[in-house]
Amino acid sequence: MELILTAEEEAFRQEVRAFVTAEVPEEVRRKTMTGFRLSKEEHVTWQKKLFEKGWVAPGWPVEHGGTGWTPMQKHLFEEECAAAGAPPVIAFGVTMVAPVIMAFGSDAQKDYYLPRILRSDDWWCQGYSEPGSGSDLASLRTKAVLNGDHYVVNGQKTWTSLAQHANLMFCLTRTSDTGKRQEGITFLLIDMEQPGVTVQPIKTIDGSTEINNVFLEDVKVPVANRVGEEDKGWTYAKYLLGHERTSIAAVGRSKAQLKRLKTIASVEMQEGKPLIEDQNFKEKIAAIEIDLLSLESLVLRVLSDESAGKGPGPEASFLKIRGTEVQQGITELLVEAVGNYAHPYVPEAMKTGWNEDPIGPEHAASIAPHYFNWRKASIYGGSNEIQKNIIAKAVLGF
């Protein structure tokens, strides 16, 4: 079931397709499609290219550098980027901290950070979770104590994705222990390149090290780097969570991965026939495809509500739940598709410059690591259990 597009929308799609097809380097495309790790440079180079084209922040208001696209255009853009194997724009700057700065930041913060975010001059990371505060984020204990014109921050953040690349962190800190836990949290922008900040990688079950512990020891943060008011950070964090939730659904990416699954299933042979001709396997793909179609439909509905000025409601949590279920479902079928060649684990094969022959089919190398790695999706960004709590409370009124 294809989207029915107007002539203008179709022309727009072709324009995006022509650009991304021409501009994404083959090596980057291959890595993105197969789930291999991209270097910081590969990410930044691509984002700068999008910036030059004026397309790096479609979700932003036009006055800050947004594109002014319709919801359908935003959706088509995401889909075409994913289909061409463009690296996803790293969310921490453009889609996470930027809307908070726009809504609650000082003029000085807007003037300084927003253009830098557009140009990918900074790499942001998110300082939310702590060892004792995961699903129960409001229990966080990283302490910020005001001392003249700066805060002194002490504590530990964890699961910090790509902190190894980051020079800036938006960070939730505790500034008050009295009253409701949510009311003593302050939103700080922290320079990672200073004494007292230590980034320690965490190895995950797939063998990669994209998440980190971040230790903060007497870290000085100027008061000018506080977003909004002291003790009001929880409100800003919630605003962030309610913003651009459609990107977490990753419809375009899942479409591209589904296509990849079908390609692989058409070359993997089972009992003399391509696996994709197996009725049972075909139906499993179909079931995921239908999940994805309804997800896409809900995304488009939410996007059009957004452009009509209606912020995404807590229903947006469904986008996170379904989006990650679809992503995980595809990784699971990919493991099934490659059969015995899910076994070999050769991380070098997933890196640039590995010139040896693959073990088994080339498409198999990253599939099992990716399956295990992607279990994170139903845990991060508010676990799927927490998303259900949000819906139960805010939508159903329990």
Partner 1 sequence: MSFAFTDDQKLLAESADRFIQNDYTFENRRKNMEMDGGFNRAVWTQFAELGWLALAIPEAYGGLGGSTGDAAVLLESLGRGLVVEPYHSTVVLGAGAVAAAGSEAQKNEILPEVAEGKRLLAFAHVEPRARFTLNHVETSAIKDGGGYILNGEKAIVHNAETADTLIVSARTGGATTDHDGVTLFLVDPAAKGVTLRSYPTIDGLRASEVTLEAVQVGADAILGTVGGAMPVIEAVVDRACVLLCAEAAGAMDAAVTLTVDYMKTREQFGRPIGTFQVLQHRAVEMLGAKDFSRALTYRAASVVDVADPRERARAVSAAKVEMGRGGKTIGQEGVQLHGGMGMTDDMAVGHYFKRLTMIDVLFGNIDHHLRRFARLG
How far apart CA 16 and CA 72 sit, in angstroms, is 13
Query: Residues in contact with partner 1, total (CB under 8 A)?
Result: 47
- The Cα-based distances of 146 to 19, 114, 214 in angstroms read 49, 26, 21
Which position among 51, 77, 236, 380 is part of the footprint of partner 1 (CB under 8 A)?
380
Nearer to partner 1, 16 or 285 (CB): 285
Got the DSSP string for 49-76?
HHHHHT-S-TTS-GGGT-----HHHHHH
Residue closest to 377 by CA, chosen among 243, 210, 235: 210
**Is residue 353 part of the contact set for partner 1 (CB under 8 A)?**
no
**Is residue 340 part of the contact set for partner 1 (CB under 8 A)?**
yes
Which position among 136, 218, 229, 362 is part of the footprint of partner 1 (CB under 8 A)?
136
* Residues contacting 213, CB < 8 A, separation 6+: 156, 157, 158, 160, 199, 200, 202
- The Cα-based distances of 312 to 17, 242, 243, 307 in angstroms read 28, 6, 7, 10
Nearer to partner 1, 315 or 336 (CB): 336
Please state the closest distance from residue 280 (CB atom) to partner 1, in A: 6
How far apart CA 151 and CA 353 sit, in angstroms, is 45
* Window of 43-51, 114-122, 168-176, 366-374 that interacts with partner 1 by CB under 8 A: 366-374
Which position among 223, 269, 286, 293 is part of the footprint of partner 1 (CB under 8 A)?
269
Please state the closest distance from residue 325 (CB atom) to partner 1, in A: 11
Please state the closest distance from residue 237 (CB atom) to partner 1, in A: 17
- Determine which helix (DSSP H) or strand (DSSP E) holds 199, and give its type and residue range: strand 197-202
- Determine which helix (DSSP H) or strand (DSSP E) holds 286, and give its type and residue range: helix 279-307
Nearer to partner 1, 86 or 338 (CB): 338
Which position among 286, 344, 351, 393 is part of the footprint of partner 1 (CB under 8 A)?
344
10 Å Cβ neighbour count for 386?
17
Please state the closest distance from residue 133 (CB atom) to partner 1, in A: 8
| Tokens found for residue 312 | 């995404």
Nearer to partner 1, 73 or 158 (CB): 158
**Is residue 354 part of the contact set for partner 1 (CB under 8 A)?**
no
Nearer to partner 1, 82 or 367 (CB): 367
**Is residue 160 part of the contact set for partner 1 (CB under 8 A)?**
no
- Residues 207-266, interacting with partner 1 (CB under 8 A): 207, 211
How far apart CA 162 and CA 192 sit, in angstroms, is 12
Determine phi and psi for 185, rounding to 5 degrees.
-115, 135
**Is residue 281 part of the contact set for partner 1 (CB under 8 A)?**
yes
| Tokens found for residue 67 | 């594109």
**Is residue 58 part of the contact set for partner 1 (CB under 8 A)?**
no
* Window of 61-69, 93-101, 239-247, 334-342 that interacts with partner 1 by CB under 8 A: 334-342
**Is residue 268 part of the contact set for partner 1 (CB under 8 A)?**
yes
Which position among 179, 272, 309, 353 is part of the footprint of partner 1 (CB under 8 A)?
272
| Tokens found for residue 44 | 């930044």
**Is residue 372 part of the contact set for partner 1 (CB under 8 A)?**
yes
Please state the closest distance from residue 233 (CB atom) to partner 1, in A: 19
| Angle at CA of residue 296, ends 294 and 297, nearest 5° | 65
| Tokens found for residue 145 | 């104590």
Counting every residue written for the chain, the total comes to 398
Q: How far apart are the first and last CA of the chain?
A: 37
* Window of 109-117, 187-195, 311-319, 364-372 that interacts with partner 1 by CB under 8 A: 364-372
How far apart CA 138 and CA 142 sit, in angstroms, is 11
Nearer to partner 1, 196 or 201 (CB): 201
Name the site residues for partner 1 (rule: CB under 8 A): 129, 132-136, 139, 158-159, 202-207, 211, 268-272, 278, 280-281, 335-336, 339-346, 359-360, 368-369, 371-372, 375-376, 378-380, 383, 385
